[in-house]
Amino acid sequence: MTSDFAHHPVDPEAAGRLSGSGLRLGLVDTDDAGMFRAWLQATSRGFHGSRQDQESLAASMAGLAHRRTTGVWEEGADAVSEPVGTVSSWPAELSLPGGHSVEAWAVSSVSVSPAHRRRGIARAMLEAELATASALGAPLSILTVSESTIYGRFGFAPAVFATNLTIETRRATWVGPLPEGRLRFVTLDDARALLPELHDRGRGGVPGQIDVWGLRWDQFVALAGDDRDRAKKLRAIRYDDAAGVVQGLALYRATGGEEDFTKHVLELEFLLSTTGDAYAALWRFVLGMDLVSEVRAYLRSVDEPLRWQVADQRAIKESIEDHLWVRILDVPIALEARGYAADGRIGLEVSDVYGYAAGRFLLTAGGGAGSVTRVEGAFPDGVPALAMTVNELSSLYLGAVSATVLAASGRVTELTPDAGAAAAALFRSPVTPWLNVWF
């Protein structure tokens, strides 16, 4: 993808449509402090955030300047007035099954002023993002959503799920491994220095993870953001293995305990591990904490080994939600980028109201890799085939959703008997997809 993605001209079709309503779609020059500040304040208001103070504006400006930053203004508004629509985007490295990765067009900060909603501004901005991503050669786009009802119409679909855990510590006696390494508290600055390296070491093996930007790490350790109470209570603990190599880190806060001091809640904000050893050591530490009756953990994998490391699985209550949404734009490039757990062929008839992913494709998987050809007319004899929209193909892409389930739900049509099972075998991911950040 071109390194000049931030300056690629806005989509003329979407811009023309908005112009007909007295609105201007344009890029924010992130070197222009006044213009960028106004865009950031509009975005914050759109998400019911605080009016940003100078310190947090400065952090956002430094941390987000590299992104493509787009706004919508009322015609005639000057450059430093707040836009009525905001969106940002950038090429993110998305981990795929088989230890592969792809550059995906990440979309974030979609907001429209509450005074300008339901007039098609978000639609124009999203359609412009898809056109830009496609023009720049991105095979797919990704986002995390505030509401799950907005993005299906643009071809996005849930592709990675995440779970929030509530754990009753009294029942969660540790029965897992007893690692031989060492746990020790570190400062938030030290945690900040460790997080990117630990994340980068582990993310390639987990489909759905992305490369995380610096400002997000600052926010994790409360070095950015305006929640002072959170910053005061946040603790960081690292795990070094028996050889002395750092292999994991956890961030947590203890809250509550006012009525009964033995019943604090431990909010596990982040737990990152690069080995099973580090995972077990950090979870064991968290669950064994004195004066804590409940642990709450956020954005965890839907397939946590933890379930098998406590005496009573019912100590863990889960609340699963869609998390990462995917929108495939170029079917051959996207499907050839990932690895496959089985050999075989499958025919895919894909419809897409925007046209990007529409067509008939033959996927041939062998030796872990896949190749895709376009098919005119019928699929070859004997090849199992499925029909679906781009949404379902996007849900299947990372292996978190099974084609048999989508076939049973009626979302995917089996054009030949048992094609769902054949596709499920090909698309399956041996590692459960997971994404541990919002963007």
Ligand X SMILES: CC(=O)SCCNC(=O)CCNC(=O)[C@H](O)C(C)(C)COP(=O)(O)OP(=O)(O)OC[C@H]1O[C@@H](n2cnc3c(N)ncnc32)[C@H](O)[C@@H]1OP(=O)(O)O
- Footprint on this chain of ligand X (rule: CB under 6 A): 46-47, 107-112, 117-123, 143, 145-147, 149-150, 153
What whole-number distance in Å separates Cα of residue 212 and Cα of residue 196? 7
- Please state, in angstroms and rounded to a whole number, the distance separating the CA atoms of residues 329 and 325: 13
Q: Is 439 a catalytic residue?
A: yes
Residue 150 burial (10 A CB sphere; 0-12, 13-18, 19+): middle
Nearer Cβ to ligand X (72/224) = 72
Q: How far is the CB of 326 from ligand X (least distance, A)?
A: 12
Min dist CB 431 to ligand X, Å, is: 25
Confirm or deny that 122 is annotated as ligand binding. Answer: yes
| Residue owning tokens 């998305």 | 94
Residue 302 assigned as binding residue: no
Cα(139)–Cα(141) distance, rounded to whole angstroms?
Answer: 7
In whole angstroms, the minimum distance from the beta carbon of 385 to ligand X comes to: 30
Identity of the residue, 17 or 230, whose beta carbon is nearer to ligand X in the bound complex: 17
Is residue 118 annotated as involved in ligand binding? yes
Closest CB to ligand X among 123 and 201? 123
CB 364 within 8 A of CB 325: no
**The one catalytic residue among 154, 340, 397, 439:** 439
- Smallest gap from Cβ 5 to ligand X, in A, equals 17
The pair of three-digit structure tokens given for residue 130, joined into one six-digit string = 């898809």
**333 is annotated as contributing to ligand binding:** no
The answer to the question of whether 147 is labelled as a binding residue is yes
Place of tokens 């994991």: 248
| List of E strands, 156-258 | 157-168, 182-186, 235-240, 246-256
CA pair distance 324, 399, nearest whole angstrom: 12
In the complex, the smallest distance separating the C-beta of residue 146 from ligand X, rounded to whole angstroms, is 3
For 410-415, which contacts have Cβ atoms below 8 Å and span 24 or more sequence positions?
A: 412/386, 412/387, 412/388, 413/386, 413/387, 413/388, 414/384, 414/385, 414/386, 415/347, 415/349, 415/379, 415/385, 415/386, 415/387
Q: Is 151 a catalytic residue?
A: yes
Distance CA 311, CA 318 (A): 17
Query: Which CB sits closer to ligand X, 107 or 159?
Result: 107
What lies within 8 Å, CB to CB, of 16 at 6+ separation is none
Structure tokens, 268: 């596990």
What is the nearest approach in angstroms of ligand X to the Cβ of residue 119? Answer: 5
Q: Output 23 or 102, the one with its CB closest to ligand X.
A: 23
Contact between 261 and 303 under an 8 Å Cβ cutoff? The reply is no
Comparing every residue's Cβ against ligand X, the nearest one is: 122
Of 119 and 235, CB closest to ligand X: 119
Residue of 151, 239, 270, 356 marked active site: 151
Pick from 10, 1, 152: which is nearest to 85 by CA?
10
CA distance 298 to 436: 9
Query: Which CB, 66 or 123, lies closer to ligand X?
Result: 123
Asked if residue 429 lies in contact with residue 398, where contact means CB atoms within 8 angstroms, the answer is yes
Rounded to a whole number of angstroms, the minimum distance from the CB of residue 345 to ligand X is: 35
Is residue 110 a known part of a binding site? yes
Q: Which of 21, 95, 48 is nearest to 338 (CA)?
A: 95
Binding residues: 110-112, 118-123, 146-147
For the annotated binding site for acetyl-CoA, the residues are: 110-112, 118-123, 146-147
Active-site residues: which are they?
Answer: 151, 439
